[in-house]
Structures are given as structure tokens and as C-alpha cells.
Structure 1
Amino acid sequence: MTIARHEFKPIQLYKLDPLGKEAFKAKTFEFSEDGVTQRDREPTSKDYPTQRSLFQPFGCYLQLLHHFVIAAGNTDNSLAVVYATLDYVNQLHAYAAKYEWNAVLKYHFEFHSARLAEMREGNFSGWQAADQDLVNLYLTGNTKVQNKPSTGSSASLSFAKQVCNKFQEGKCQTPCPMNRQHQCRAC
């Protein structure tokens, strides 16, 4: 019912994981002179290590959200929430392809939290547009490092640290064509 009232906290998504993911420690404790206080902890890539680990429970959340909004009978809200959240999921996939996963998670949880207040007011279109402030805060500067195709030089360097097996058997020419070390393993 918290989903229908737009009070379901994004950090509770693990509860909707159909594979029964164990709850991460959603609370942290802070010690001060006044005693111990408890606060919500932001999820990280340790809690949601893969896209599936986020998208699967988030998809369940969206299905329930769509159900409750459609059941309320407001056609405009029903269309808005379906189209806007589909746009958001597509944008989130694009972000996941381009940016570091932990940055995408931070963006998502902050973005989702901001939508809750809007939805309580009956506005479902906020899912549709990217939040440029959050993009700048979490995504800008966190572009994934692209793996460059190997030119063979890095392979040569790693082979240079290896002892040549064929040399051990007396079957390798000098210098080693694989750039491996010619030295006796037993010595």
C-alpha cells in the first residue's frame, strides 16, 4: 500500500526482488554525545552490483505503481505514469551504458525520491525528463573507461614476466618468439 500512497522509499526496492535478495543493511548508526541515532544509508553497487539487481525490483515497483494509478481511474494520470516511466527506464539504461554503475545508482535513488513528492500531488510526468542538476552531480565526470583493443604490446609485457615452458623442454629458439624469459625454473 505504500506504493499506492507514494511513500515507498527507493532504498526498499530489495523487498520487491523476485529472486528474494536479502535485505542490505539499510540503516546506519551514528554515535554522538546525545546517544545513538539511526539513519537511512544510501544503497551502493555492493547492494545492487548489476543492472539486473536494480532493474528487476524496479520493474516490479513500476508494475505496482501502474496498477494503482490505473485503478484510481484517472486516464490522464494513467497515461502519464506509463509513458513517463517507460521513458525513464530507457534513459536509465542509456546512463548505465555510459556511466559508472555506482554513479547511476546514486542518480536513480535521488531521482526516484524526488518523484515521490510530485506523485503525491498527482503529477506523474516528472519521470519523463532527466534532472540536469542530478546528472551534473552524479553522472558528469563518471563516464565509464572504455577498454581499448589490445595492440599486443600489453600482451608482450605480460609475457616478458613469464618463464618460457618450451625453453624448459629445450624446444624454444633464442630470442623467445613469445618474449618470455629463458631461465631455468628449478634454479
Structure 2
Amino acid sequence: MTYFDIMQTFASTSGKSEAVRCVSTAALTYLQHLMKFSFRYDWSAVLSYHMAFHCHRRRDMLKGKYAQWAKINRELMNEHLLGHEKLYSSSRAFSSSSKLSRDVEPSVAVCKLFNQSKCTTGVSTMGS
């Protein structure tokens, strides 16, 4: 967060309130993206994506452009994240009687044993 605080302070020196708003919203969106990535991909891959993404954004920021922080870079995702998905053990995601695929992310899995209090932490109890 300190980095984005510095960016926001720097943007405020431009005298353009739009620049400050853009930095604030783009930074929050970017941090949300990183958080979602960290749930799905190995941390080393997320860090690699972040470093490459940051390099691209530095070039934009030299031109006073901050909005790209809010956009996911699909090319960098393909290069740094894909193929580095976290593996989930069956004990984390499902009950022992589950017949679902063992590599489904727990936040996506649906536990049908909720009413019997047999769902593990992090498993969605909703069908969405």
C-alpha cells in the first residue's frame, strides 16, 4: 500500500484531481487482482506477474498514465501465471465421499453436506 500512497501523493502534485482519483481506484483494483491471483496461482508466479506488470506500468506513469493499473494484462498472465495453478488436496476441498474432481479450487466447489456440518472451511455452500 505504501507504494500506491506515494503514487497518489505524486499524482496530487499535478493539480489534477482526476489523476488522484485514477491512481486510487486503479490501485485498489490492481490489489484485488493480485489477491484473486494469489488464491488461484502459486505465489512465485503471482510475484513474477507483478514484477513484469510493474515494469510496464512504470513506462505508462512516466507519461502520466495510471489507468492501466486497473486492467489485467492477459499476455503477462499467459506468460507468468498459466501453468502455475495451485493444486488442492481432496481433504482441503471436499469430504471423503465427494466424487468431484480433486483439482477444483475450494472457493468454486459446492459442498452438498452443509446441513450436516461436514463442509470444510473455504468451500462455498451456495450453488453459484
Normalization by structure 2: what TM-score?
0.69
CA distance in 2, matches of 1:148, 1:101: 21
2:63 maps to 1:104: no
Partner of 2:31: 89
3-state SS, counterpart of residue 75 of structure 2: helix
Runs of 4+ aligned residues of structure 1 deviating over 4 Å after TM superposition are: none
Instruction: List alignment gaps of at least 5 residues for structure 2.
Output: 97-128
CA distance in 2, matches of 1:98, 1:71: 37
Q: Tell me the matched-pair count.
A: 93
Contact 2:53-2:73 within 8 A present in 1 as well: yes
Structure number with the higher strand fraction is: 1
The 2-side partners of 1:117 and 1:149 are apart by: 45
CA distance in 2, matches of 1:134, 1:147: 28
Letter in 1 for 2:65: N
Distance in 1 of aligned mates of 2:70 and 2:8: 15
Q: In the TM superposition, what whole-angstrom CA distance separates every residue of 1:63-82 from its partner, at most 9, and x where no partner exists?
A: 11111112321112111111
Structure with higher helix content: 2
Question: In structure 2, how many angstroms separate the alpha carbons of the residues matched to 1:91 and 1:70?
Answer: 24
In 1, distance between residues paired with 2:87 and 2:72? 23
Distance, in Å, in 2 between the alignment partners of 1:73 and 1:96 is 35
Q: Deviations over 1:39-96 (max 9, x none)?
A: xxxxxxxxxxxxxxxxxxxx11111111111232111211111111110000000001
Aligned-pair identity in percent equals: 28
CA distance in 2, matches of 1:99, 1:66: 29
SS in 2 for 1:145: coil
Matches within 5 A, 1:1-187: 59-149=1-91, 151=96
Q: Whole-Å Cα distance in 1 between the matches of residues 13 and 65 of structure 2?
A: 16
State the secondary structure of the residue aligned to 1:133. Answer: helix
**RMSD value over aligned CA atoms?**
1.2
